[in-house]
Amino acid sequence: MCRAAGLALALSVVAGGAALRAQLPRGSTPHARALLARAESLETQLARRDTLNRRASERQRVARRFGAGDVVVLLGGVADEAVGAKVAAAGAALLDSLGILPVGFVRSRVVVAYDAAGVDSVARAEGLVGRARVLADFGRPVDTLAGGFVLASALVRAYQEGLDSTWRSWAPGGLSLDWKEGREGEAARLDLLTGNERVGARCLAGEISRCALWLGVDRDAHPFRTRYAPDELRRVVASSGWTYGANATAARDCVQGSDDACVRFAESDRVIDATPAGGSARGSLLREIWAVHGRAALGRALADTSGSVAERLARAAGLSEDALLVEWRAWLLTGGGGKRVTAEVADALPVVVFGALLLFAAARSGRWR
């Protein structure tokens, strides 16, 4: 309590030092001059203490280099060598498991913690000046449990940002790096089974051409005219406040019954996703390529810059587009079961029966009426 009061008094004296200097007359008393000298001394001490504390904090955050294989990371505030080594090794293992980032890309990058200090000097000393920096938030202190994922996801994100516009606009974040069948797989199935779009329902029923529309893997110049029905767009617009925002006239006309206005609003405002399938469902297509055709196939598809998403994935898998979507649909509905999903009748029979039951239940619920 006394220390706190003394500190508060010292600060008040220091804060008033400038005022004292300005107001002190030439003929001031020795007591006033002594008080001013004391304030200036305290001001100097506090400034010096602040500088020392700041330097100590920066020393604690000075970047340190850790690596595993081709992966290099600069972490700040890591005193324990084992912590940095564990983060680097976990990140490298995740990237190796995913197996889609080119070696040259990884070797040309260095992941840098947001709060690392002295990065420029450390990069020069470690011979990392030529590497592009990828920032990542590892927390403080560094979270050893999540650090590897943070490192790997930062590099995957940087790679994804460098892909061509077709992949950037379609591919879900993370490129299925953290795919879990019980999480993303279940979410993808629920998206297909319970979605509100007719193209999704017809894909579930077995119309493969509708699967392409639902997933948005075709190259359609007018996606809102082919992937959505006007009443589906109207339902989305009516449930929002867009009738009072930008393009409000088109939104109001849409709600009042104009099909063309619904399409025009969706095309002009871009507040509705051009792809009906959500991120998990789109990720399931990438993961199916990865699981069934191998990591190299997915890597080839992502490096491909010619044609639609479906064309690129089909080329990488060595299948026709329709065959790929048949394979993906069966793989998704069976929970990724089997070493390799095929489109033969015997293999597809459980899916057909399951789909028929779902169609019967959905018809009774009135979803497609």
* Alpha-carbon separation of residue 330 from 141, 327, 357 (angstroms): 45, 5, 15
For 247-298, what is each residue's pLDDT tens digit? Answer: 888 999 999 999 999 999 999 867 889 999 999 999 999 999 999 999 999 9
Same domain membership, residue 303 and residue 363 = yes
Same domain membership, residue 154 and residue 43 = no
C-alpha torsion 208→214→217→221, nearest 10:
110
Q: What is the structure's pLDDT at 366?
A: 43
- The CB-side HSE value for 201 (13 A sphere, CA atoms) comes to 18
Q: What is the mean pLDDT of the chain?
A: 82
The two most distant CA atoms of the chain are separated, in Å, by 107
Start-to-end C-alpha separation, the chain: 74
Number of domains in the chain: 4
Q: What is the structure's pLDDT at 73?
A: 96
Q: Which two tokens stand for residue 35?
A: 């008080």
| Percentage above 70 pLDDT, the chain | 74
Q: What is the structure's pLDDT at 36?
A: 65
CA 300, distance to chain mean position in Å, is 22
Same domain membership, residue 299 and residue 154 = no
With cut-offs at 50, 70 and 90, classify the pLDDT of residue 299. Answer: very high
116: how many CB neighbours lie within 10 A of its CB? 21
| Percentage above 90 pLDDT, the chain | 62
Is residue 366 assigned to a domain? yes
Residues whose CB is less than 8 angstroms from the CB of residue 130 and which lie 6 or more positions away in sequence, other chains included: 108
Same domain membership, residue 205 and residue 318 = yes
- The CB-side HSE value for 67 (13 A sphere, CA atoms) comes to 11
Same domain membership, residue 232 and residue 216 = no
Least confident of 30-34, 67-71, 154-158, 272-276: 30-34
Same domain membership, residue 157 and residue 208 = no
Which run of H or of E encompasses 67? strand 64-68
Same domain membership, residue 245 and residue 119 = no
Edge-first strand listing for the sheet containing 132-136: 64-68, 71-75, 109-113, 132-136
Q: For 96-113, what is the mean pLDDT?
A: 95
Is residue 172 assigned to a domain? no
Is residue 71 assigned to a domain? yes
Is residue 326 assigned to a domain? yes
For 313-334, what is each residue's pLDDT tens digit? Answer: 999 999 999 999 999 999 999 9
Q: What is the structure's pLDDT at 1?
A: 44
Same domain membership, residue 204 and residue 85 = no
Tell me the β-bridge partners of 293: none
Assign residue 66 a region: left if phi > 0, alpha if psi is -120 to 50, beta otherwise? beta
- DSSP helix/strand/coil, 134: strand
Sign of CA dihedral 178, 181, 183, 185: positive
For 220-247, what is each residue's pLDDT tens digit? Answer: 889 999 999 999 999 998 888 777 767 8
Q: What is the structure's pLDDT at 331?
A: 97
Is residue 167 assigned to a domain? no
Same domain membership, residue 327 and residue 205 = yes
Same domain membership, residue 124 and residue 72 = yes
Same domain membership, residue 286 and residue 268 = no
Do 214 and 232 touch, CB atoms closer than 8 A? no
Q: For 42-64, what is the mean pLDDT?
A: 61
The verdict on pTM exceeding 0.85 is no
C-alpha torsion 173→174→176→178, nearest 10:
-120
Is residue 168 assigned to a domain? no
Range of the domain at 193: 177-221+275-369
Q: What is the rounded CA–CA span in Å between residue 30 and residue 155?
A: 67
Same domain membership, residue 188 and residue 303 = yes
In the block, residue with structure tokens 């990140």: 91
pLDDT over 60 at 363, yes or no: no
With cut-offs at 50, 70 and 90, classify the pLDDT of residue 23. Answer: low
